Amino acid sequence: MRTDASGDLREAKKELRRAVRKRRQALSAVERQTKDAIIIERLKALPSFNRAQNIMAYASLPEEVQLYALINFCRRRGQNILLPALADDGTMTATVLPEGAAIASGGVWQKTGEFFPPEEIEFILVPGVAFTPNGDRLGMGGGYYDRFLPLAKSAKRIALAYDFQVLDTLPTDELDAKVAITLTETSLYRT
């Protein structure tokens, strides 16, 4: 869904974010753990994930698919884990997660680590509030990923989401970055 009036678009995005986040927060701990385990196992079965050496993840918010066990799994396999960090100028960068570093919940990694060139990232787990089967993505509203993803030109962009986060249409514009695959507990959508 494309909206011309920027105020209307912002308001539509804001309302949709509120509704979907409320639904994510309503999941019980058992539902969340069950769905998360299925989604993570489905991700581990993707050949592109298994081939990737440089994987960008994120520090999951409490209501998102939890990535902590996956990050530890990747580290044990020798894959490089990268996390987003905010630079002094407010842009998002990729940094190497240092060995033994703890990750706090909260979306963007606030610790500074070794900078990693975006063009060398092979696989990016892209957070978001809602997605469409054709790869449209509604983020949290900061635009960090929308500005960063074009820099990682060769990276496979994957969204992990719950089934109810995949909608037929989203309020988007030309600046909203898309994902290549959206993976849920029951479906895999490729664009």
Q: Is the pTM of this model over 0.85?
A: yes
Q: What is the rounded CA–CA span in Å between residue 37 and residue 79?
A: 20
How do 123-125 and 130-131 pair as beta strands?
A: unpaired
| DSSP run (H or E) holding 191 | none
Residue type, 135: G
Find, among 11, 14, 55, 2, the residue nearest to 140 by Cα: 14
Q: What is the pLDDT of residues 26-60, one digit of tens each?
A: 999 999 999 999 999 999 999 999 999 999 999 89
Residue 3 scores a pLDDT above 50: no
Q: What is the pLDDT of residue 128?
A: 96
Q: Domains plus CATH for the chain?
A: 6-190 (3.40.50.10420)
